[in-house]
Each structure stands twice: as structure tokens, then as C-alpha cells.
Amino acid sequence: MNRDGVESSNLRSVGYDANGKILEVEFHGGKIYRYFGVDEDTHASMMGSGSKGRFFQQSVRNRFSFERME
């Protein structure tokens, strides 16, 4: 999955697969997670947010199933 770099103190890049409803998030520490069942509106809201890290914490983390990528 291709990810786009983002301006964030916590997040390095974000990718999205609309067909699979998968949000992929890379953190500055290098860890990458995939979140499942994420709708396009949530992804668009995150990318349009003034604080992507805050949006992630409030609207993605602990709300969707996920896996850590190796």
C-alpha cells in the first residue's frame, strides 16, 4: 500500500485502500499498523484534520480492529 507523508508529531505517513477499507498508519518510530473497516469519510476527515495525531487517537485508535505490520 502506498502511504503519503503527513505533517504530524506522531505520524510519519498514512495510506488508505478504499476497496478493502484499510487504513495504514506509520509512526515516526517506524512501526506500521493496519486498521480494518475504516470508511472513506473517516480517512478523509483524518487527512483534512489540523492535527492528524489527535484525530487518530480520538477516532481511529481503539475503534477499529488492527494488526501490526512486520
Q: Is the pLDDT of residue 70 over 90?
A: no
Mean pLDDT value of segment 8-32: 97
The pLDDT of residue 67 is 98
Question: Tens digit of pLDDT for each residue in 25-60?
Answer: 999 999 999 999 999 999 999 999 999 999 999 999
Q: What angle in degrees, to the nearest 10, is found between the helix axes of 52-59 and 40-48? A: 150
Domain extents for the chain? 4-69
| CA-wise closest residue to 14 among 57, 68, 54, 56 | 56
The pLDDT of residue 44 is 97
